[in-house]
Structure 1
């Protein structure tokens, strides 16, 4: 039974998060290299702007804002799941190698299996998912012990090793590629939001529409997985099956996000941890907060990176500037 005061607190924080998202989105729509004044924003949104204003808003800024928002939500939820099944607050899809696995698969596909522009948009999340799932499979396999099952700490450490190895593999893969293709992969690695058109939103949105409700449905299972294994088994939970299903969910979310945003880390680390600090560790309470915070953090980082200097700073770098000190803080605290 969740205390009513905690539910009220969650609703207040969700409302504040929504306000932050809306405010940041409005700022992001109004500022940039091309002029679109705030007093013209409402008219343009209602279809009463000039051709230039509508092009800037609907073809450039609004798709990018929605992409970063959705990707941040997906990464935050992926991180929340991984932290739940590993019982480790330092778990993140970027840190434990899932993002790197998706990145290697996307790089190989982009360099050696060119696709038509229309199908490329929808193929990239699928290719990223395949790469991430293969990586997740090997990480799980190496962390699994036939006597004691999957070792959460081992999964994190092996994942870090995989992340380093796959980053090296990425360098080898792109070392002999064409310059233009290398530039794209380099921007992807830096976390540059490259999928900034409406088709990328339609490619990403179905993953969230399906997997967000599924994760919330599984929230109580995640609560039980956080208990000691004898207790979890005693209440009738199949630990290994639930871990595998939830790991697949986390992999799918991370792969879908990074396929259009590039190699972004730390969102999946920070958002769940901040949410737990605000509303407690119960998954039904903190996951909705983490989803909104993750979306806002990435949107905020991208908005700052696009406008802080004349040359755009990739969102992945901006997030890392915030996330790396936070990671060190958590490491020292834990």
Structure 2
């Protein structure tokens, strides 16, 4: 049974994070290369703006904001699941190669199929999932030992190796591609939020509507998987079956996110750690907080990046990496 004091702390934390998300959203909607003053933001939201104001808000900034928020949530939840099933605090879909695996699939799809806001667009999360799943299976198999099970340290090393190798594959793929397609893939690697139209929202939303509640439902299972294997088996848990199911969930969450945001790393590393520091390690409490934290981290990174260095700004993935890389090194030295 969860103590009432911890539940109260979680609710307060979620309320604060929700306030931060709303505040950051309003700042993001009111700032950018195209002017839309804050005093015109509320009237425009209620349909009282000019054609230009409504276009900037509803066709440019609002879909980008929704995509960024959803993707940050998906990446955070994916990271939390990976850390739980591997019992490794350094696990993250970007660090252990899952994002890169999805990126190779998207690069092949983009190079050989015209990506438009039409029917092909909705295949992007599926293509990313298939490619990321194939990568995750290879990493899992190479990290698994028959006598001792999954090796967390080996998983990290194999995952980092896969991430570097797949980044090289992407460079080979674009070496003879058209200039426009090379620019797109380069921005994807940097973590640029490129899916900024409403069709991209509808492309990933069905995945998240199913996967996020399922992941929250599996919070107790993640608690058991964090125990030593003999203890978990003694409690009646089918370890390998649950690991496979949760691995599929984590891969699908990460793939659906990076299919529209680019190769963003470290969100899945930082958000679960911050959540556990705030409300404790119990996943029933930590997962919802990590969900909100991931959405806010990517949202604020994109808001900062968009308003720096001219109209193109800095990709959100780079802004996150500037924060996440030192955090990763700190955890590496600590653990």
Smaller-chain TM-score bracket: over 0.9
Q: How does 1:1-334 map to 2 (within 5 A)?
A: 1-114=1-114, 117-310=117-310, 311-334=312-335
Asked if 2 retains the 8 angstrom alpha-carbon contact of 1:98 and 1:135, the reply is: yes
TM-score w.r.t. length of structure 1: 0.98
Asked if 2 retains the 8 angstrom alpha-carbon contact of 1:64 and 1:197, the reply is: yes
Asked if 1 retains the 8 angstrom alpha-carbon contact of 2:117 and 2:199, the reply is: no
After TM superposition, the runs of 4+ consecutive aligned structure 1 residues lying more than 4 A away are none
Asked if 2 retains the 8 angstrom alpha-carbon contact of 1:90 and 1:330, the reply is: yes
In the alignment, the residues of structure 1 paired with residue 259 and residue 334 of structure 2 have an alpha-carbon distance, to the nearest angstrom, of: 32
Asked if 2 retains the 8 angstrom alpha-carbon contact of 1:63 and 1:197, the reply is: yes
- Aligned-pair distance for 1:206? 1.2
Helix, strand or coil for the counterpart of 2:118? helix
Q: Which runs of 5+ in 2 are unaligned?
A: none
Shift in alpha-carbon separation, 1:284–1:138, aligned structure 2, 3 A: same
Helix, strand or coil for the counterpart of 1:77? helix
- Aligned-pair distance for 1:152? 2.7
Asked if 2 retains the 8 angstrom alpha-carbon contact of 1:86 and 1:153, the reply is: no
TM-score w.r.t. length of structure 2: 0.98
In the alignment, the residues of structure 1 paired with residue 319 and residue 27 of structure 2 have an alpha-carbon distance, to the nearest angstrom, of: 17
Asked if 2 retains the 8 angstrom alpha-carbon contact of 1:102 and 1:129, the reply is: yes
Asked if 1 retains the 8 angstrom alpha-carbon contact of 2:86 and 2:150, the reply is: no
Q: How many residues align?
A: 334
Helix, strand or coil for the counterpart of 2:88? coil
In the alignment, the residues of structure 2 paired with residue 116 and residue 87 of structure 1 have an alpha-carbon distance, to the nearest angstrom, of: 40
Q: Which runs of 5+ in 1 are unaligned?
A: none
Note the aligned Cα RMSD (angstroms). 1.0
Of 93-102 and 34-43, more deviation after overlay is shown by 34-43
Helix, strand or coil for the counterpart of 2:114? coil
- Aligned-pair distance for 1:208? 1.2
Asked if 2 retains the 8 angstrom alpha-carbon contact of 1:190 and 1:316, the reply is: yes
